[in-house]
Amino acid sequence: MMRCELSTCRGVLVERVDKIGRVTFHCAQCERRKRGVCRYCPRPVYGTIGVTFYCEECKKIRRRVDVMRWQKNNLPKVAEGARRRRYKQKGVKMPAKKMTLAEAGKIGGPLGAAARIRNLGPERVKEIAKKAREARWAKYYARKRLEEEQRGK
C-alpha cells in the first residue's frame, strides 16, 4: 500500500489504468481537496479551495478530537488551568504554590465539637450533654449486670 507524498494528506494511493493501458497512481483525498470537497463528507470546504481539507462541521469535530487527545496526554496542565479558572471566578489572587490539605482545611473553618457547640444554643447543648451522660451510664450499668450474672452462675 502506497501513501500520498503530501505530508498533511498521507492518503492511500489508488491505481488507475488509462485507455492505452498505462498504470498511474492518484490520491483520492488530494483530488477531493483540489475540488473543494470535505475529506469526510460531501459538503464544500470551509476556507480556501485547494488548501483546506474540512467543511465547517467536520473542522469543529476534528478540533474537539485534537483537544481531547491533548487533554488526555497533559492532565497536570489541565488541572492547573482548572484551578486557575476557579480562583479567577472567585475573584481571588491565586497563590504561588499549591496549598496543602491542612491549609485547605483551615479555610473551611474549624471543625469538631467546639465549632458545633458555638453554633448551637445553650439549651440544645445541655440536651446533647444529658443524652451522652445517660448513654455512658447505661453502658456502665449493662457491664455491672453482666458481671453479676457471671458471678451468680
What's the number of domains the chain is made of? Answer: 1
Per-residue pLDDT at 3: 86
Q: Is residue 21 part of a domain?
A: yes
The dihedral over CA atoms of 66, 72, 77, 83, expressed in degrees to the nearest 10, equals 100
The residues of the chain scoring below 50 in pLDDT are none
**Residue 14 is part of which domain span?**
1-53
Q: Is residue 92 part of a domain?
A: no
Q: Is residue 17 part of a domain?
A: yes
Q: Is residue 20 part of a domain?
A: yes
Per-residue pLDDT at 141: 94
pTM, two decimal places: 0.46
Give the tens place of pLDDT for each residue, 111-141. Answer: 677 778 888 889 999 999 999 999 999 999 9
